[in-house]
A and B are shown apart, each in its own frame.
Chain A
């Protein structure tokens, strides 16, 4: 299993500004994932972040809006750039438990609740 922490836990921001969310894992992992969960909605994958390579973004998400860093095997950041009220969501990071099987359990952080005014 993996224990994941996120900072900040919540924030209120003004439109047009940017916020960087940090995700820290207590063990080394190859893949980290960033999700968005809009109020009362399901989770949508934003991108997959591998250490040493550029993040892979899902349809509808672009690097200019959601730049991601992955400097090492235990840490990643997601920036929400030039924010608008539509960006108000919970942002979650997750990691794969990497047992070597094709599909594995994912462990999620507690999320960062972002409100954009």
Chain B
């Protein structure tokens, strides 16, 4: 299976600052790297993902970077806003699962202060 470590567990920033969350995985054959955002009282929602054939992907204020050699990928949020406050999970699926199961990291609670 996939061992996933996510850091930091909590992150407090001022509005407008940048936030970076890092996820380390163990399965060198992994080729799909998603990030999910969970707001209070809701289920997680995919915000960005990257496949192993690229090193970086950007969508407006959100970006994901991948370092396959070091087996980690990171979520970058620029110009943070209060509505970015949520718990963020990386969830790389294990390659031996046979289907689209996800292995969730422990989560990072991001708090953006106005």
* A-binding residues in B (CB < 8 A): 31-32, 34, 41-46, 49, 51, 89, 93, 99-102, 104-107
Interface of A is mostly: strand
Instruction: Count contacts between A and B, CB distance < 8 Å.
Output: 52
Minimum distance in angstroms from B36 CB to a CB of chain A: 8
Give the total of A residues in contact with B, Cβ under 8 Å: 22
A103-B100, A105-B46 known; 5 new pairs, CB 8 Å cut-off, are: A33-B101, A42-B89, A42-B107, A107-B45, A111-B42
- Main secondary structure, interface of B, reads loop
Whether B99 lies near A43 (C-beta < 8 A) is no
Assess whether A53 is interfacial by the CB under 8 Å rule: no
Q: Give every chain B residue within 8 A of A96 (Cβ-Cβ).
A: 99-100
Partner of A48, one of B42, B89, B99: B99
Q: Is the CB of A42 within 8 A of B45?
A: no
A interface residues (Cβ-Cβ under 8 A, vs B)? 4, 31, 33, 41-45, 48, 92, 94, 96, 102-111
A109/B43 contact (C-beta < 8 A), A42-B107, A102-B32 known: yes
Residues of B within 8 A of A110 (CB): 41-43
